[in-house]
Amino acid sequence: RNMDVSTFVDSNGGLIDRAIYNEPAIYAQEQRRIFARSWLFLAHTSQFKKPGDFFTTFMGEDPIIVTMDKTKKIRAYLNSCRHRGVRLCRADAGATKMFTCSYHGWSFDLAGALKTVPNEKAYPEDFDKNKWSLIEVPNVQEYKGLIFGNWDHEAEPLEEALGDMRYYMDAMLDRDPEGTEVMGGVMKWELDGNWKLAAEQFATDWYHVNMSHASALMVLSPTGKGPKPEIAATPGRQFVSENGHGAGFPTHPKSRFDARPVHEYYDYEMLRERLGDAAVEGPMTTGHATVFPNFSYLPVNGSIRVWHPKGPNKIEVWAWVLVDKSMPDDVKDAQRLYNLRTFGPSGIFEADDGENWSEIQAISGGFVTNRVPLNFQMGIGSEREDGVYPGKTSELYSDAAGRAFYKHWAKIMNTPAWHERNK
Ligand code: FES
C-alpha cells in the first residue's frame, strides 16, 4: 500500500518528478507518513489566555481542537465526537467550559473526558465513559510562543527536531524579551496547487523574487523602475537542514524593516547585543523560511502561515500577523497593515506566488508533462559550514534547501511511522 518514492526524488542530482505533486496515492501516503508523524504548527500561545479558550485547526486533514485546560496546560484533541464522529467543535475559536456535540449531545470537558451522555441508562451496564474520551494528540510542545503538535508519542523533542533552525527562528521570535503575540484573526484563503510547492518555495527560493514580483518591486521602488540589475548579485545565505527546514536571507550590514514605524521603533544596537551581529544583518529582516513540513514565515512583515493540504491539488493558507509584545499599538498596527499590503490574501506579493504554483499544478496531470523531471540543481555542492551561520548553508540564490526538503520528505515517506511499528 505504500509506494517507494525514492524513484521520484533525486536530491543529490537535483531532479524531482512532478508526480509527487498530483499522484493521489502519494498524497494519501503523506497523510500517514508525513503529517501523522511530524511536528505540525497548531497555534500561538497568545491565542489562549484563560482555561476554556480554544482554537480549531488541522494536522494534515485531521481536524483538531486546541484548548487550555483548567491547569492552564495547552492540549489538542481530534475534533471528532467519539459517538458517531460529527465534528465536535464548529467554531473557529472561542471560549467554553464543555465541548457538546450537536448530533446527540455527548459532552466532553477541557481535559477531553466524556462527562454527559443523554439517556445513558439505555447503554449496557458495562458502558464506561472513561473509555470514550476525546482522542488526544500525545505530543504538544512550544517553542518561543509557537505551539506544535505531533501524533508520534515517541517523536524526538520539538527543539531537537528544529535543531539549528532555532537560530534562524529566534531572529523573529526573540527580538523582544517579552516575546511575540499574534494580532487580529487568522486570514484564510485557498490556492490551487500542492502544499509542497508553497512549503518548498519558502524554504529555498529567493530566485523567483526579481521575476515573479517584478511589478510589486516597481510599485515599491522610489524611481518606479523596480530594482537595478545588480540585485541579482545580492549577497546572502540559505540555511539547509537535514530535517527538511530551510531559510534564506540577504545579508545587509545595515538591517532595516520595510514598514517605517517598525524600522524607527527598533534599537538595532540593542538587537545586535541580544541576537548577535550575524542574526541582525541576515535572518532578522527580509528572509523567508519553512519549518518542515508546512509552517512558513517572513520576518520582515511578521507573516506566519500554515499550508494546510486539502487534497493533492488544493492548499488552504492560514496566516497570522506576528508582532513583538512590547511594541506600542501604533507600531503593531503599522506592521499589520504592511503585512496585509504585501503578503495578505490580496497583498501585492502574495498573489504572484500562488499564481505560479497553480500554473505548475494545472498542467501536472499530462502524461508526457509528468515524465519530465523538474530542475533543482542551482548551487549543487555549495552546502558547507560557513563559520558564521549555524548548520550548513548555501548561497542566497540556490536550491540547496529545496533539495534537502525533498530528501527528508522522501526519507520519511519511505520509513514506517509509529502506527506501523510492530505490525
Ligand atoms: Fe456526537 Fe452522537 S455524534 S453525540
The conformation of residue 27, written as its DSSP 8-state character, comes to H
The conformation of residue 12, written as its DSSP 8-state character, comes to T
Residues 6+ apart with CB under 8 A from 355: none
Cell (9 digits) for 335: 506592521
Query: What distance in Å separates the CA atoms of residue 230 and residue 13, rounded to the nearest whole number?
Result: 29
Cell (9 digits) for 72: 492552564
371 has a pLDDT exceeding 90? no
Query: What distance in Å separates the CA atoms of residue 217 and residue 193, rounded to the nearest whole number?
Result: 25
230 has a pLDDT exceeding 80? no
Question: 162, 156 in Cβ contact below 8 A?
Answer: no
pLDDT of 315 = 97
Share of the chain above pLDDT 90, in %: 83
Q: Does the beta carbon of 120 sit less than 6 angstroms from any atom of ligand 1?
A: no
Model ipTM over 0.85: yes
- Classified by CATH at the fold level, domain 40-142 comes out as Rieske Iron-sulfur Protein (2.102.10)
Quick: pLDDT tens for 156-167. 999 999 999 999
pLDDT of 326 = 97
Closest residue by Cα to residue 268 from 287, 281, 259: 281
Q: How high does pLDDT run on average in the chain?
A: 94
pLDDT of 208 = 83
Return the minimum-mean-pLDDT range out of 43-47, 184-188, 308-312, 342-346: 342-346
Helix, strand, coil share (%) of the chain residues, nearest 5: 30, 25, 40
Q: Does the beta carbon of 151 sit less than 6 angstroms from any atom of ligand 1?
A: no
34 Cα to the center of ligand 1, angstroms: 30
Q: Which residues pair with 98 in a beta bridge?
A: 109
Return the minimum-mean-pLDDT range out of 81-95, 136-150, 165-179, 213-227: 213-227
Quick: pLDDT tens for 344-366. 888 888 888 888 899 999 998 88
Q: Does the beta carbon of 99 sit less than 6 angstroms from any atom of ligand 1?
A: no
Q: Does the beta carbon of 83 sit less than 6 angstroms from any atom of ligand 1?
A: yes
- Which atom of ligand 1 lies closest to the CA of 105? 4
Closest residue by Cα to residue 203 from 405, 411, 396: 405
- Which atom of ligand 1 lies closest to the CA of 106? 4
All structural domains of the chain with their residue ranges:
5-35+164-420, 40-142
Q: Which helix (H) or strand (E) holds 200?
A: helix 195-204
What is the average per-residue pLDDT within 142-166?
A: 97
Query: What distance in Å separates the CA atoms of residue 26 and residue 2, rounded to the nearest whole number?
Result: 8
Query: What distance in Å separates the CA atoms of residue 199 and residue 253, rounded to the nearest whole number?
Result: 28
Residue 408 annotated in active site: no
From 53, 174, 205, 324, active-site residue: 205
- Give the Cα-Cα-Cα angle 391, 258, 211 (nearest 5 degrees): 75
Handedness of CA 226, 232, 238, 242 (dihedral sign): positive
Residue 308 annotated in active site: no
Residue 288 annotated in active site: no
51 has a pLDDT exceeding 90? yes
423 has a pLDDT exceeding 70? no
Query: What distance in Å separates the CA atoms of residue 46 and residue 230, rounded to the nearest whole number?
Result: 41
Closest residue by Cα to residue 409 from 26, 143, 146, 61: 26
- Classified by CATH at the fold level, domain 5-35+164-420 comes out as Naphthalene 1,2-dioxygenase Alpha Subunit; Chain A, domain 1 (3.90.380)
Return the minimum-mean-pLDDT range out of 165-179, 362-376, 379-393: 362-376
- Give the Cα-Cα-Cα angle 30, 34, 38 (nearest 5 degrees): 160
